[in-house]
Amino acid sequence: MAVLERRHEEGGGLNTEEPCIPGYYHNMHAQFMEFLDYMPVYKDFDLERMGARWVYPEAQCGIAFADGRPPVIIHRPDLLDRTWKSIARYSKADADTFCELKRRTMEIDQILAAALYTPPPPVPEGEIANPLDNPLIDPIFSHIGLDKTCVLKSPKAIIDELFETPELRALLYRECVEWGTPIDMEMGGVAFVMSVLWFSGIWKLMVGGTHTLAHAMTQACLREGVTFLESSEVSEVVLSGHRAVGVRTADGRKFGARHVVASSTDIQQTLLGMVGEENLSELWRRRARAFRYGPSHVLATTVWCLREAPHYRSAEADPEIDRCFYVMVGFDGPDDTIDYIRAAYSGHLPQHAAGVWVNTIHDPSQGPPGMHSATGWFFFPPADRLSEQEWEEVRRTYNARFLETWQRFAPNMTADNVLAERLYTPDQMDSKNKMRFGDFSNGAFALDQLNSSRPFPEAAQYRTEIESLYLCGASSHPGGGVHAGCGYNAYKAIAADHDLPAPSREGRIY
C-alpha cells in the first residue's frame, strides 16, 4: 500500500507550526480533539505507543464579557456540577436542562459515534433520501428526552426553545457552528444533539500540537508496511476501460494499483480533475459539478505570541475563564453571535470577534518557558468571495482590530503583550491544504449534501462509478473533522468488495 501526499508531509489540517517566532507553536487548523475516545484508528493501531499524548482541560468552553459579567463555562462531562454552577448564576432552570440533556446524551455517546462510523443507509434508486428516515433518531431522542419535533427545527430554534439565558444562548450558537452545524439549518435536530450536546466538553489537546497525532498515524502506517511518498501530487487516476488501475503524478510518475485507488481529495478534484469529465457518465458529471463548498465550515486562524495569557474581566466572577480551553471573545449576547455567523455565511467579513485558546496554559511545551502561544478562529467568507488583494488587506489589518476588541474583554491584551501575530486566511487554507475555498469539510453542510446524500446519493457508499475507485475524504459522510470516519467507512466498503477482514470491533459497537 502506498500513500501519495501532495504536501511535503502528511497530516492535512493536523499541522502544528511556528509561523511567527521559533518556539511558539500553533495549530494552524485542527485544534480540539473530540473524537479520541471514539475514533477506531486511535485504539486499533495503538497510537499512544506511536507517541500520541493528550491532556484534557477541565474548563472546556466559555464566553467572556467586556463588562465583567460572569462567564458561562461548560466543563468536562465528569464535572457537570461545575457546569451547573456556572449556568445557574444566570438561570437554575437552564442549568438543570443543559446538565440533564448532557448527562443523558453521554449515556448513549456510542450510538452517536456509530452514526459517524457507519456508512449511511443507502437510498434505493429513484428515491430521495429522507433525513427523518434515520433509524437512530427515535432511540436517540427518546433517550435524551428531547421532544421529537425538534428533529425538524434549526439548532437556533431548539436553543431558543430550551434556554432562557441570553449569555448561554450566545455560547451555544457559536459552539454549534464551531462544531459543524449551520445554526439556521432546518431539520437540524440531530445535528444539534451532535454539535451542542455531545461534542461540548469532550475536547482534548494533543501534547506538542495536533501534528503529533498525524505523526503517530504515519508511524502506525509505516509499522504496518505502508509506503509514503511526499511531494507527490496526483494529477490523474489512470483508467483501463472503466476501471482505476493506478495514478499519475503531476511530475509524470506513474503508480500502478493492483486492487484499489482511494482518494481523500474533494469530490470535484477526484472526479472532474483526476478521473476527467470525459470518463464520467452524464449523471455523475452533473452531480460532481453541482457539489457545493462552504460557507459553513470556512475558518481563518489567528495566531499570537504573548508574554502573558489573557486575563479576562469576567474572571472576577469566575477565575476558571482564564484557564478555559476555548473562550468566545467579542460577543455581548446572542444577537452578536447570530449576526457574526450570518455575516460570514453571506459572504461578508464579520465583526472583530473570535473563539480563542492558549494551549501553553495546558501544555507548556507549546511555547518558550513562561510565555504563551494563543490561537483562535474567525468564521470568514469562502475564499472566492474576496479578491487576492482584499485577502492581503485582511491579513494586514484584521488582527489589529481584533486586538482592540480583545483588550476590552481582557485588559492585559495590550500591544505590549504581543510579541508577534499572524492571520492565516481561507484562501491560504485552500492553496496549502486543498480545503476548497477554505471549507474544512470540503463540501457544504446542507441537507442535500449530508448522510445518505453526501457527496451525492450515488456516491454515498464510498464507491464510485469507476470500478476500484473509492472515496475516503471529507466530501463523504461524516464530513470534515479529526475523526477518521470517512476513511473507516470507506474501508468497510473496500473490505466488503474485496473479501478483506471487517474492522475489529473490540470495545465498540461500530
Partner 1 sequence: MAHEVFSPEWLGQWAALINSDESLPERAPAGVWRIYVRAEGDGVSPYVPAGETMHLILQLEDGRCTRLERTAAAPGPRELDFRFSGPARIFEEVTAGLRDPVDAGLTGEIKIAGDMAFLLRNAELVKEIVDLYVGRLETDWPRGRPPYGDGA
Question: How far is residue 485's CA from residue 482's CA, in Å, rounded to a whole number?
Answer: 8
What residue type is 421 in one-letter code? E
Residue with cell 509524470: 252
Span interacting with partner 1, options 105-113, 225-233, 439-447, 479-487, rule CB under 8 A:
105-113
In whole angstroms, the minimum distance from the beta carbon of 461 to partner 1 comes to: 12
Amino acid at 46: D
Q: With beta carbons less than 8 A apart as the criterion, state whether 98 and 87 touch.
A: yes
Site membership for partner 1, residue 390 (CB under 8 A) = no
Measured from the CB atom, the residue of 438 and 478 that comes closer to partner 1 is 478
* Cα distance between residue 121 and residue 490, in whole Å: 14
Does the protein bind partner 1 through residue 108 (CB under 8 A)? yes
Rule CB under 8 A: say whether 101 interacts with partner 1. no
Q: How far apart are CA 445 and CA 295, in angstroms?
A: 9
Q: Which stretch binds partner 1 (CB under 8 A): 28-36, 76-84, 102-110, 454-462?
A: 102-110
Cβ closest to partner 1, residue 452 vs residue 464:
452
Q: What value, to the nearest 5°, has the Cα angle with vertex 402 and ends 398 and 404?
A: 125
The site string for partner 1 over 124-163 (x = CB under 8 A, - otherwise) reads: ---------xxxx-xxx-xx--------------------
Supply φ then ψ for residue 68, to 5 degrees.
Answer: 80, 10
| Strand-by-strand arrangement of the 299-306 sheet | 72-75, 59-63, 326-329, 354-358, 372-379, 299-306, 418-424
The whole-angstrom separation of Cα 425 and Cα 418 is 20
Least distance between partner 1 and beta carbon 193 (Å): 13
Q: Provide, rounded to whole angstroms, the least separation between the CB of residue 140 and partner 1.
A: 8
One residue of 111, 152, 157, 272 binding partner 1 per CB under 8 A? 111
Among 118, 249, 279, 412, binds partner 1 (CB under 8 A): 118
- Tell me the residue type at 434: K
In this structure, which long-range contacts are made by residues 139-147, counting pairs with CB atoms below 8 Å and at least 24 apart in sequence? 139/108, 139/111, 140/108, 140/111, 140/112, 140/190, 140/193, 141/189, 141/193, 143/104, 143/107, 143/108, 144/101, 144/104, 144/105, 144/108, 144/193, 144/197, 145/100, 145/101, 145/104, 146/101, 146/189, 146/193
**Which residues are CB-contacts of 342 (< 8 A; sequence separation ≥ 6)?**
184
Minimum distance of partner 1 from residue 108's CB (angstroms): 5
Least distance between partner 1 and beta carbon 465 (Å): 23
Which residues ranging from 474 to 503 are in contact with partner 1 (CB under 8 A)?
502
Please tell me whether residue 256 binds partner 1 under the rule CB under 8 A: no
Residue 510 binds to partner 1 (criterion: CB under 8 A): yes
Which residue's CB is nearer to partner 1, number 113 or number 471? 113
CB 313 within 8 A of CB 56: no
Stretch that binds partner 1, among 49-57, 103-111, 183-191, 398-406 (CB under 8 A): 103-111
Q: How far is the CB of 113 from partner 1 (least distance, A)?
A: 10
**H or E stretch including 410?**
none
Stretch that binds partner 1, among 5-13, 15-23, 104-112, 455-463 (CB under 8 A): 104-112
For the CB of residue 134, give the shortest distance to partner 1 in the complex, in Å: 7
Given the complex with partner 1, which of 121 and 246 has the nearer CB atom? 121
Contact map string, positions 53 to 92, toward partner 1, x by CB under 8 A? ----------------------------------------
Kindly state the number of chain residues that form the binding site for partner 1, as judged by CB under 8 A. Answer: 22
In whole angstroms, the minimum distance from the beta carbon of 110 to partner 1 comes to 5
Residue from 97, 110, 219, 407 binding partner 1 (CB under 8 A): 110
Q: Among 115, 140, 154, 173, which Cα is nearest to 344's?
A: 173
Q: Can the peptide bond before residue 319 be classed as cis, meaning omega within 30 degrees of 0? A: no
Three cell numbers at 496? 466488503
Residue recorded with cell 499570537: 304
Q: Candidates 114, 187, 260, 317: give the one binding partner 1 (CB under 8 A).
A: 114
Q: Tell me which residues touch partner 1 (CB under 8 A).
A: 104, 107-108, 110-111, 114-115, 118, 121, 133-136, 138-140, 142-143, 502, 505, 509-510
